[in-house]
């Protein structure tokens, strides 16, 4: 990923969950908060409620592929955390891409005061 690092520490996840804004869809919820850096940090959270290891890894692959496709459109300087929901099991990455482009990018721009 060109403009993105991994968000690994629990502190970053909890900050996004508690203080960040969010956009929710049927298959994924996206939390985002400014991180005051020239790059984004991506975190993915998939609960055991989604299924076994195979299903959870598939969900993570779908989210990563969708993010990679939309990465250049997402404004820089944010921690972005994707939380997979039960509806993601039978979806494709194109469905998540459509959600990111139609809702997530607009919400981030709105919070940043760009639109």
* pLDDT at residue 78 tops 80: yes
The CATH label, of 1.10.3720.10, 3.40.190.10, 3.30.230.10, 3.30.590.20, for the domain at 4-112 is 3.30.230.10
Domain residue spans in the chain?
4-112
Is residue 81's pLDDT more than 60? yes
Quick: pLDDT tens for 22-77.
Answer: 999 889 999 999 999 999 999 999 999 999 999 999 999 999 999 999 999 999 99
Q: Tell me what pLDDT residue 114 has.
A: 65
SS3 114: coil
For residues 78-106, give the mean pLDDT: 93
Strand partners, 29: 24, 83
DSSP characters over 44-107: EE--GGG-SHHHHHHHHHHHHHHHHHHGGGSPSSEEEEEEE-GGGTT--HHHHHHHIIIIIHHH
């Amino acid at each position: 990923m060109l403009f993105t690092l991994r968000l690994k520490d629990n502190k970053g996840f909890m900050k996004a969950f508690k203080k960040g804004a969010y956009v929710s869809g049927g298959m994924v919820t996206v939390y985002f908060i400014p991180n005051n850096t020239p790059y984004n940090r991506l975190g993915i959270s998939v609960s055991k409620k989604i299924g076994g290891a195979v299903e959870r890894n598939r969900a993570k692959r779908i989210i990563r592929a969708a993010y990679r496709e939309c990465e250049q459109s997402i404004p820089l300087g944010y921690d972005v955390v994707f939380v997979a929901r039960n509806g993601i099991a039978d979806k494709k990455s194109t469905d998540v891409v459509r959600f990111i482009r139609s809702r997530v990018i607009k919400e981030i721009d709105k919070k940043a005061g760009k639109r």
